[in-house]
Amino acid sequence: MPEVRLVGPNGEQVGIVPIVKALELARESDLDLVEVAPTARPPVAKLMDYGKFKYESAMKAREARRNQAHTVIKEIKLRPKIDPHDYETKKGHVVRFLKAGDKVKVTIMFRGREQSRPELGFRLLQRLADDVADLGFVESRPKQDGRNMIMVIGPHKKKAEARAEARAERAAGRERARRED
């Protein structure tokens, strides 16, 4: 006669009982008999309200989805012969994106004869990576992709940490402003 290890509705161990007896107990307590570990010897079954269980697990999954951070990849495009001021501006954008916890894809576009000098682009990407090393790390090394050279920089901080830090900074700023008034 097939048997199951039965777990009660509150998680208490009932013991090893025949399936017929387990089904009878489920019917008496107006609950469902759910197999939770079919590969165990003997299989483990639990008395529970299956509809309520499905609803609660769906709500947990929904909550987990809401709390997960979405990875965003921001893109910055540069040219090999970039003006120093323009470089500083683009670097500022990269810094802002990394502080917000986003990844940054840096693309250098080569045109015409510039394609014969990929080392210019490589040096520029290396310089940018060194300039933002305290905020992010090079996730993928510079790679030539046709007329473009691409590098991805990832932030040291997770998106959620960056958000929490920004929120705390804003709150501190509001507190300072309130005290000054």
pLDDT tens profile 52-96: 989 999 999 998 888 776 777 999 999 998 999 999 999 999 999
Three-state SS across 89-144?
Answer: HHHHHHHHHHHCCCEEEEEEECCHHHHHCHHHHHHHHHHHHHHCCCCEEEEEEEEE
- Give the architecture-level CATH label for domain 73-160: 2-Layer Sandwich (3.30)
- SS3 category, 5: strand
Q: Which amino acid is at 114?
A: E
Q: Is the dihedral of CA 125, 127, 129, 135 positive or negative?
A: negative
- SS3 category, 30: coil
Q: Does this chain's domain 3-50 share its CATH topology with 73-160?
A: no
Q: What pLDDT is recorded for position 159?
A: 72
Sketch the domain layout of the chain as residue ranges.
3-50, 73-160
Q: Can you read off the two tokens belonging to residue 14?
A: 């009932």
Q: What pLDDT is recorded for position 1?
A: 62
Q: What pLDDT is recorded for position 65?
A: 83
Mean pLDDT of 95-120: 91
pTM: 0.58
pLDDT tens profile 127-172: 999 999 988 899 889 999 889 999 999 998 777 777 778 788 888 8
Phi first, then psi: give them for residue 63, nearest 5 degrees: -65, -40
Q: What pLDDT is recorded for position 78?
A: 92
Class of domain 3-50: alpha beta
Mean pLDDT of 23-38: 90
CA distance 107 to 67: 31
